[in-house]
Amino acid sequence: MSLKSLETCKSHIFEYGFTVINNVFLQTEIEAIEQILRNIDTSKENFRKSEDLFAIRQFLKEIPEIKDLVFNDNIKIVIKEIFGDEYFVVKSIYFDKPETSNWYVAYHQDLTISVDKKIDLPNFGPWTTKQNQFAVQPPLKILENIYTIRIHLDDTDENNGALKVVPKSHAKGIYRPETIDWTVETEEICNVEKGGIMIMKPLTLHGSNRTTNGRKRRVIHIEFSDMQLPEVLQWSEKMN
């Protein structure tokens, strides 16, 4: 991974809202992550299990022993060179869409952040609460500052639910999916190799189709910010 190529990725994110970087993890590193995932206790309340999806919320908190594997040298370089020194983790989820999954995700933006409590604050809302976890839509400038890294544990393409995105939509504020004008906008499928990552701005319109090739798709989703919330409110998963 050259710094020059990371500079190109950084400008691609700035202009289009996303980028893909392959070969961030070695095969042995992915195998070590898989080993831990195979041995987890799936009965915890932060684990969601259906025939279409297995998900772990607050992933890095629930499985702390995976942190050193996830933050390998390459990821640390990516964070430093593309995001900057001030960025920290604010949210983490693990998704496993099994081979038989018919999980379809319509176009949307990621408009909420995870916080430690519910409190009335100007420009924060609406709120949702799930299993004592609080999510809120914050002011736009907070959303605009977030980066998401999606680590792919499987080869992912249009046949097993690779993310599709609307390039440049991240720069248009809150963008309701039902108002997408396809005479103006384009769609791009983000194929990512096993051991690669996709970086995305959460305001980039994105979705995914159902799996049609019988291959699973496992992704570790981690969000980063460099912003402090108003002092009474904290990021629920803040981690340096």
Here the CATH number for the domain that contains residue 79 is: 2.60.120.620
How far out from the chain centre does Cα 112 lie?
12
Q: How far is CA 83 from the centre of its chain?
A: 15
List, for residues 176-193, the tens digit of each pLDDT value: 999 999 999 999 999 999
User: DSSP letters along 163-201, please?
Assistant: EEE-TTGGGSSS--GGG--TTT---EE--B-TT-EEEE-
The CA distance from 106 to 110, in Å, is 12
- Side-chain half-sphere of 214: how many Cα atoms within 13 Å? 0
- Render pLDDT for 42-91 as a digit per residue (tens, 0 to 9): 777 667 766 556 888 899 999 999 999 999 999 999 999 999 999 999 99
Please tell me the predicted confidence (pLDDT) of residue 101: 59
Tally of structural domains, the chain: 1
Please check whether residue 58 lies inside any domain of the structure: yes
Note whether residue 238 is domain-resident: no
Residue 234 lies in a domain: no
The answer to whether the pTM exceeds 0.85 is: yes
Each residue of 185-213: b (16+ CB within 10 Å) or e?
A: eeeeebbbbebbbbbbbbbbbbbbbebee
Going by C-alpha positions, the residue among 52, 62, 30 that lies closest to residue 133 is 62
State whether residue 19 is helix, strand or coil. strand
pLDDT (0 to 100) of residue 103: 67
State the Cα–Cα distance between residues 17 and 171, nearest whole angstrom.
8
β-sheet bridge partners, residue 192: 156
Q: Which residue has the higher pLDDT, 216 or 100?
A: 216
* Domain region containing 193: 3-225
The answer as to whether 84 is a domain residue is: yes
Task: Examine residue 232 and state whether it is found in any structural domain, yes or no.
Answer: no
CB 12 within 8 A of CB 168: no
The verdict on residue 237 lying in a domain is no
Q: Is residue 231 one of the residues assigned to a domain? A: no
Instruction: At 113, give phi and psi (nearest 5°).
Output: -120, 155
In a domain, 240, yes or no: no
CB 127 within 8 A of CB 134: yes
What was the pLDDT predicted at 104?
A: 79
The secondary structure of the chain in percent helix, strand, coil, rounded to multiples of 5, reads 25, 30, 45
Please name every residue paired with 94 in a beta bridge, in sequence order, or none if there are none: 56, 220
- The mean-pLDDT minimum among 130-134, 148-152, 156-160, 204-208 falls in 130-134
Q: What are 88-103's pLDDT values in tens digits?
A: 999 999 988 766 656 6
| Residue that has been written with the tokens 């980063």 in this structure | 224
